[in-house]
Amino acid sequence: MTPIPRQVDFHCHLDLYPDLEEAISACEDTQTATLAVTTTPKAFRRNLQLSSKSKFVRVGIGLHPHLAEERWTELPLFEVLLRETRYVGEIGLDAGPHFYRSLDRQTQVFRRILSACAEQGNKILSVHSVRTVSKILDCVEELFPMDAGKVVLHWFSGSAAEAARASSLGCYFSINQAMFRSERGLAVIKTLPIDRLLTETDGPFVEVDSNPIRPGDVAEAIRLLALARGYDADSMRKQVVINFVALVAQR
């Protein structure tokens, strides 16, 4: 993603806003390096087409764990389209009460995606890990070696010990403003390596004043992150950009 952005939104569902072209333009206008994640392989091409002239938006191919049970048959399409992008997301596992019953299928899908990414190499993955961080890291350690690419743990909700293990495996962490609503979340954020932090909106799922957060609107996440880590907001914004540039420069 060039040129150097002003800020980073490393996990946003641009195609779930009412107007995808307008959402892409919002990221361009604010010079926000944005990873537009998708939830199914079939959604990938439209996102890619509409963002093809964007300086700041890149598209990840995804198969969301919430959809693994009904969309696992799209895995062959996923593997074909994977060759068209360096970015992968949203993928992962979710053992929350609404999705636990599909965890076996989710795991099959996630493992196959990791294997495909490792085979092709040089991939950056945005990974969902609700109540499954240890299982995610087990799969990464087994199937996605550090020289195959990088894992970014989106909306990380694991423990400090799991964060330390993730860090040892080279993972990054994308932080949104909703993560600061719990004391537990804040405590873990304070332990994360400063050079592995990115910001995200997870729009439109995060809301501000009962409205979906705007794409690229990471100012509050930056402010809260700066406060938690003893930085001023502009210094934190710059640090996140430095982290992002280092992440995408790795080959």
Domain assignment present for residue 2? The answer is no
Residue 115 DSSP label = H
- Give the integer Cα–Cα distance in Å for 191 and 177: 17
Give domain status of residue 57, yes or no.
yes
Q: Give helix then strand counts, H and E, for the chain.
A: 10, 10
Q: Which residues pair with 212 in a beta bridge?
A: 207
The β-bridge partners of 8 are: 33
Specify if 52 maps to a domain. Answer: yes
The total number of structural domains in the chain stands at 1
Cα separation, 96 vs 47, whole angstroms: 29
- Domain containing 78 equals 7-249
Closest Cα to residue 42, out of 91, 1, 81? 81
Q: Is residue 1, in this structure, part of any structural domain at all?
A: no
What CATH number is attached to the domain comprising 155?
3.20.20.140
Q: Are 240 and 216 in contact (CB under 8 A)?
A: no
Taking the CA atoms of 194, 180, 22 and 123 in sequence, report the sign of the dihedral they define.
Answer: positive
pLDDT for residue 2: 64
Residue 184 placed within a domain: yes
Mind listing the pLDDT tens digit of every residue in the chain (251 residues)?
468 999 999 999 999 999 999 999 999 999 999 999 999 999 999 999 999 999 999 999 999 999 999 999 999 999 999 999 999 999 999 999 999 999 999 999 999 999 999 999 999 999 999 999 999 999 999 999 999 999 999 999 999 999 999 999 999 999 999 999 999 999 999 999 999 999 999 999 999 999 999 999 999 999 999 999 999 999 999 999 999 999 999 87
**Cβ–Cβ under 8 Å, residues 200 and 12:** yes
Residue 139 in any domain: the answer is yes
In a domain, 136, yes or no: yes
- What does pTM read for this prediction? 0.97
